[in-house]
Chain A
């Protein structure tokens, strides 16, 4: 799917594609809805939605606003829970070792990316590299073990021909979707909320990805559901959701930092998936009537169950994890690790501490969807990044600070403006002193450095170019910067040289609400359902296509196209005919020319 709005755990930032939003049928209105939701201006948001006479625009404004609430919930859960903190730790371990790694790469010589691939002797032999340095081996082993640990938790189970994932990330998705719909119902009402649920081309995926926990609890008899009637041919259900988030939070209080685990044939205190299974079995065995409990009561029951099953309440588990995280940060600090990385980690730790305190003092603000919706979500403020994958000529608008882009040295931009552009920009937030009302990261400078330098470097180390990202050139620039600074070649493993791109033009028509577009190559109008969408990496793997494109042009047009090819990391929309020509161009697996 084309990413339009994302939460990036590596930076804890909310990213949105400003160009894709602008292309849509009601770009201005949808953009406003997004920013009102980010800023918690609910009255303005309601007014905006009410004013829309076009049903598509009204629903889409509500959908985008609700998607912001979904991502804000991810920000909370990634920061507060033990599982989220573990996911953050995999990044921070790379961030704090960045300087050391650069130094060691220089001494070691050519290496494979992702770094853990160097541990595969056959692969290292094939690519003609070897990892000799002890510290790099340790870093590679850390990455390998982290991947294994995370993936052990997300092993899917299959029921009725459907794949279900029940690990920590799947729990995050369930919680976020659950509270997103609850909030949408409270802000926009039932009818528009139903519209939001229908405003999705993949309802089956939505059901298996976001609603499995509710189904599992209902089937396990731990949650009540009542059939109330029908609306437009679909059943309307009343769900007493009190136990959902408390139970998932009990599971997400997973035990890490190499602590001794509580294990038996049916119990494990380790991963969220294992903990959830242990807790459900416990409640079933003890005939605890979790169903029908209100949130606070269910949270007490979950804590008591955790104490019995794992030896610690969920809160004690979180406290232990938080304490060890503090010790880890102190160790990094004493080792003289990079000051930006340590500052960002301290900032994360401080915010996590504040969230934990809320969970202790007023748990319903976090565990009850209605309380979260009414009293807490608008206080949660992740940093916001505007992304413009095609590159925007000039400088970012007021209120945004450039994170990435290009600017040729010694060029008069007044005469040749296209030599300066931006890809990503960080929204400026009011720098008020931290108070009880707003929950956000405080050290903007450190997080900005994380987004620009540390995160792309770490993503390369962990996954090469394979991950989905909203932009993309940052990975190539990070690689060439490391090569320049160390004088050592980094070879991206062929398996991780580019992400899997499966863009479908139908997704673009759905996201934008448009029924035609202008071909990026021929400029002819293409009507739905025709046309093709070519992803930026896929595009760069067919240099013969660019050569043909450039050969066709001459003079200024050729120069302009050359710069556009360099700058534009958006998906290209082309006619079927150009799509056919693209398909016939030879695929190259080496992206060196673009690095």
Chain B
């Protein structure tokens, strides 16, 4: 399968969830790279005159789905991974088109997997 035929996704979620995905997801036709911190600490330090909010510690990982791969199984695995969230309020995994950085869908434990499958598969046909 060529690079053009593969679907590259970026998964963004809480650290504990992303680490668990890397370790536990083993689905044929799906590869998940090593999670990395989303942010670096190169920003200037702000002042008390309007401080920025404290952001949740997030990680991202690159995932590759082959077109014939198990999208549904992949979504179910993500939902299973969300159970590993430690302390996160309303934990979710945001799925982004890795090439364009456009958000495709946000997965929570309540997301309908069939609907999410359809959204993801529609996105790669665009």
A148, CB-defined interface residue at 8 Å: yes
B44 x A67 contact (CB < 8 A): no
Q: How far is the CB of B30 from chain A (nearest CB, A)?
A: 11
Binds A, one of B47-55, B68-76, B109-117: B47-55
Give the complex CA separation of A432 and B13 in angstroms: 52
Interface residues on A, range: 35 or more
A202, CB-defined interface residue at 8 Å: yes
A200 x B46 contact (CB < 8 A): no
Please indicate the chain A residues that have their CB under 8 angstroms from the CB of B50 in the complex.
1-2, 4, 200-202, 507, 510-511
Binds B, one of A155-163, A216-224, A238-246, A346-354: A155-163
| Given contact pairs A87-B41, A169-B41, A463-B42, A210 touches B51 in the complex (Cβ within 8 A) | yes
Please indicate the chain A residues that have their CB under 8 angstroms from the CB of B34 in the complex.
120
A295, CB-defined interface residue at 8 Å: no
Please indicate the chain A residues that have their CB under 8 angstroms from the CB of B44 in the complex.
3, 6-9, 15, 467-470
A428, CB-defined interface residue at 8 Å: no
Q: How far is the CB of B71 from chain A (nearest CB, A)?
A: 17
B60 x A466 contact (CB < 8 A): no
Give the complex CA separation of A4 and B50 in angstroms: 9
| Given contact pairs A121-B33, A148-B37, A494-B98, A67 touches B49 in the complex (Cβ within 8 A) | yes
Which residues 183-216 in A have Cβ within 8 Å of B in the complex? 199-202, 205-206, 208-210
| Given contact pairs A6-B45, A463-B42, A510-B50, A122 touches B57 in the complex (Cβ within 8 A) | no
Out of A1, A66, A210, which one reaches B52, CB within 8 Å? A1
Give the complex CA separation of A202 and B48 in angstroms: 9
A467 x B40 contact (CB < 8 A): yes
Query: Which residue among B38, B48, B56 has the maximum number of chain A CB atoms within 10 Å of its CB?
Result: B48
B83, CB-defined interface residue at 8 Å: no
Give the complex CA separation of A122 and B10 in angstroms: 10
Query: Which residue among A4, A7, A163, A469 has the maximum number of chain B CB atoms within 10 Å of its CB?
Result: A163
A10 x B42 contact (CB < 8 A): yes
Query: Which residue among B34, B41, B53 has the maximum number of chain A CB atoms within 10 Å of its CB?
Result: B41
Give the complex CA separation of A199 and B51 in angstroms: 12
A495, CB-defined interface residue at 8 Å: yes
CB-nearest residue of chain B to A208: B54
Please indicate the chain A residues that have their CB under 8 angstroms from the CB of B40 in the complex.
114, 143, 147, 150, 462-463, 466-467
Please indicate the chain A residues that have their CB under 8 angstroms from the CB of B60 in the complex.
495
A589, CB-defined interface residue at 8 Å: yes
B43 x A67 contact (CB < 8 A): no
| Given contact pairs A126-B3, A209-B54, A510-B50, A151 touches B42 in the complex (Cβ within 8 A) | no
B36 x A156 contact (CB < 8 A): no
Please indicate the chain B residues that have their CB under 8 angstroms from the CB of A356 in the complex.
none
Q: How far is the CB of A119 from chain B (nearest CB, A)?
A: 8
Please indicate the chain A residues that have their CB under 8 angstroms from the CB of B33 in the complex.
120-123
Give the complex CA separation of A8 and B54 in angstroms: 18
Interface residues on B, range: 35 or more
Out of B41, B89, B96, which one reaches A158, CB within 8 Å? B89
B51 x A206 contact (CB < 8 A): yes
* Binary CB contact string for chain B from 16 to 50 against chain A (1 if under 8 A, 0 otherwise): 00000000000000010110111111111111111
Q: How far is the CB of A145 from chain B (nearest CB, A)?
A: 11
B100 x A144 contact (CB < 8 A): no
A70, CB-defined interface residue at 8 Å: yes
Please indicate the chain B residues that have their CB under 8 angstroms from the CB of A158 in the complex.
87, 89
| Given contact pairs A126-B62, A151-B41, A67 touches B48 in the complex (Cβ within 8 A) | yes
Please indicate the chain B residues that have their CB under 8 angstroms from the CB of A206 in the complex.
48, 51
Give the complex CA separation of A313 and B125 in angstroms: 62
Please indicate the chain A residues that have their CB under 8 angstroms from the CB of B8 in the complex.
122-123, 126
A172, CB-defined interface residue at 8 Å: yes
Please indicate the chain A residues that have their CB under 8 angstroms from the CB of B100 in the complex.
494, 589
A459, CB-defined interface residue at 8 Å: yes
Out of B47, B52, B101, which one reaches A5, CB within 8 Å? B47
A147 x B46 contact (CB < 8 A): no
A71 x B62 contact (CB < 8 A): no
A495 x B3 contact (CB < 8 A): no
A180, CB-defined interface residue at 8 Å: yes
Q: How far is the CB of B38 from chain A (nearest CB, A)?
A: 8
Give the complex CA separation of A462 and B43 in angstroms: 11
CB-nearest residue of chain A to B33: A122
* Binary CB contact string for chain A from 7 to 18 against chain B (1 if under 8 A, 0 otherwise): 111100001000
CB-nearest residue of chain A to B59: A151
CB-nearest residue of chain B to A120: B33
Give the complex CA separation of A64 and B47 in angstroms: 9
A156 x B56 contact (CB < 8 A): yes
Q: How far is the CB of B73 from chain A (nearest CB, A)?
A: 19
Out of B6, B51, B63, which one reaches A205, CB within 8 Å? B51
CB-nearest residue of chain B to A125: B3
Please indicate the chain A residues that have their CB under 8 angstroms from the CB of B77 in the complex.
none
Q: How far is the CB of B83 from chain A (nearest CB, A)?
A: 17
Out of A120, A126, A143, A165, which one reaches B54, CB within 8 Å? A165
Which residues 114-135 in A have Cβ within 8 Å of B in the complex? 114, 116-117, 120-123, 125-126, 128
B126, CB-defined interface residue at 8 Å: no
Out of A91, A169, A210, which one reaches B48, CB within 8 Å? A210
Please indicate the chain B residues that have their CB under 8 angstroms from the CB of A67 in the complex.
47-49
A462 x B42 contact (CB < 8 A): yes
CB-nearest residue of chain B to A588: B100
* Binary CB contact string for chain B from 89 to 126 against chain A (1 if under 8 A, 0 otherwise): 10000001011111000000000000000000000000
B84, CB-defined interface residue at 8 Å: no
B62 x A74 contact (CB < 8 A): no
Pairs of residues from A and B, 6 with the lowest C-beta to C-beta distance, nearest first: A6-B44, A494-B101, A463-B40, A1-B50, A122-B62, A67-B47
Q: 4 new A-B pairs (CB below 8 Å) besides A4-B47, A128-B3, A163-B56?
A: A2-B50, A8-B45, A147-B40, A494-B98
List residues of A whose CB falls within 8 A of some B CB: 1-10, 15, 63-64, 66-67, 70-71, 74, 87, 90-91, 114, 116-117, 120-123, 125-126, 128, 143-144, 147-148, 150-151, 154-158, 161, 163-165, 169, 172-173, 177, 180, 199-202, 205-206, 208-210, 458-459, 462-463, 466-470, 494-495, 497, 507, 510-511, 589
Provide a sorted-by-A list of 15 A–B residue pairs whose CB atoms are within 8 angstroms. A1-B51, A6-B47, A15-B44, A90-B41, A120-B34, A126-B62, A147-B36, A155-B57, A156-B54, A172-B45, A200-B48, A200-B49, A202-B50, A494-B100, A507-B50
